[in-house]
A and B are shown apart, each in its own frame.
Chain A
């Protein structure tokens, strides 16, 4: 039986800002095709971790491997092109460009194909009619969908979502999560940072808990739910 290679391997990663260790010897693996939740209080190091994986920051020590290849310290655009996409907690799309332009600019290859793909994705997130509107004119929830569409334009295999469900109404939330599951069935791996435990419990197969830059728990969602130590850290009981 062939060993399944982890799609993402974080090995003993340390990142300090001055004296403060945002990530303190953190290690874990992500299996391909999984949806993993990343939880922990504010300042636990979740966003820093995303920044390190995507190359926005360099770790002070430690290694990061994507599909077996070392990506530690590589430039963000290189890592993105290898197949790692991310969205941001505070939505970052290109406001003064149209929806279509927001997607086309990410695409590579023949113009015709790129436009076709962009239109496919816009239809997928139900924003096709607004293709020529400026991105700034979208509602909050629609901007989140556009941001996800951009990541899909990259053909990312590993998608890092930073609080995708925050600030949108439950209906849209369900649509979004359904989309994520659909993409997951097609083979994409997700890591989701969320504070809303319902989202984590309801949609993630497993979860990793961070606090003060360290991994304090890891396992399936039911394991995490029952972990006393974790409950104490997270909810301060």
Chain B
């Protein structure tokens, strides 16, 4: 009996129970709760995706909205204009974004530090304008919003994002103690020293970047299908970049579960704040961001690890 309840088995049991609970949600919860959880899961993937690149390599990606919007557009247009089934439209969008990211990564990842952050913002802004011009109108509808219906129910959508979120976290967990993950960390610690020790930093960066773009893009496709609408300012909105970053900061940059915790806590706080303080909501958001970075840059999990409340393992 004791062997059955070993630590490892208890963790597995816990995960099993949690997943069973989450899977069964649509059977007893109201639409409000399913929607809330759907959003939390979407942002968990956004945050984890951001974290797997930026949290580990230290290259702050301020262009998450670029991957989200690009994949979202491809998928949504495939559904709206070409009658694709959502199950195929979503991966196509994500793969398209992944492929374009190879080129973007190869070009932009030579740029270091703050400049990289700025160039990603510039890329996002530029892409947004591009999708709004009349030159691409035949494909992109030139900046006019595209409302569409994908023939998918709320519950199915919820299950889809649940599966994606689960796999995203598993991937992040596996990477955290893999040699690939360690190599990414060296980029954050000291890129040049890593290179002179034989680590092909450019290749590792690009791989992480593509992985991030793919995961985030897939979640983005699901997100816009959920919204039943897409337009350039909506798709390439800086909020889609900022919110996951804040969520990850909240939970702990570079940790495995930080993004998940951050997304959950943040969404709940958002719900409360929004209800109470609608007008000042953004101002409070800005204030929280400042407080976080000044006093808790390591986030909740980082803080707990420092205090010894949580083990200092990379796997958490």
Q: Do chains A and B touch in the complex (CB under 8 A)?
A: yes
Q: Which residues of A contact B (CB under 8 A)?
A: 54-56, 75-77, 79-81, 85-86, 88, 92-97, 101, 104-106, 108, 111, 150-151, 153-154
- Among residues of A, the one whose C-beta sits closest to the C-beta of B182 is A105
The 6 closest A-B pairs by CB, nearest first: A80-B198, A92-B193, A76-B195, A94-B189, A105-B182, A81-B198
- How close is B68's CB to chain A, nearest CB, in angstroms? 30
Q: Give chain B interface residues in 158-208, CB to chain A under 8 Å.
A: 179, 182-183, 185-186, 189-190, 192-201
B200 surroundings in chain A (CB, below 8 A): 75, 77
A92-B190, A104-B179, A111-B179 in contact; A76/B185 too (CB < 8 A)?
no
CA distance A18 to B197 in the complex (A): 29
Q: With contacts defined as CB atoms under 8 Å apart, how many contacts are there between chain A and chain B in the complex?
A: 68
A111 surroundings in chain B (CB, below 8 A): 179
- Are the CB atoms of B198 and A77 closer together than 8 Å? yes
A101 surroundings in chain B (CB, below 8 A): 182, 185
CA distance A178 to B314 in the complex (A): 36
CA distance A93 to B189 in the complex (A): 8
- Among residues of B, the one whose C-beta sits closest to the C-beta of A150 is B197
- Are the CB atoms of A106 and B195 closer together than 8 Å? no
A94-B185, A97-B186 in contact; A75/B179 too (CB < 8 A)?
no
Q: Which residues of B contact A (CB under 8 A)?
A: 179, 182-183, 185-186, 189-190, 192-201
Among candidates B186, B195, B196, residue contacting A94 with C-beta atoms closer than 8 Å = B186
- Are the CB atoms of B196 and A76 closer together than 8 Å? yes
- How close is B192's CB to chain A, nearest CB, in angstroms? 6
CA distance A81 to B201 in the complex (A): 13
B189 surroundings in chain A (CB, below 8 A): 94-97
- Are the CB atoms of B195 and A88 closer together than 8 Å? no
- How close is A201's CB to chain B, nearest CB, in angstroms? 28
- Can you report 16 A-B residue pairs in the complex whose CB atoms are below 8 A from each other? A56-B195, A76-B192, A77-B197, A77-B198, A80-B195, A80-B196, A85-B197, A94-B185, A96-B189, A104-B182, A105-B179, A105-B182, A105-B185, A106-B198, A108-B198, A154-B198
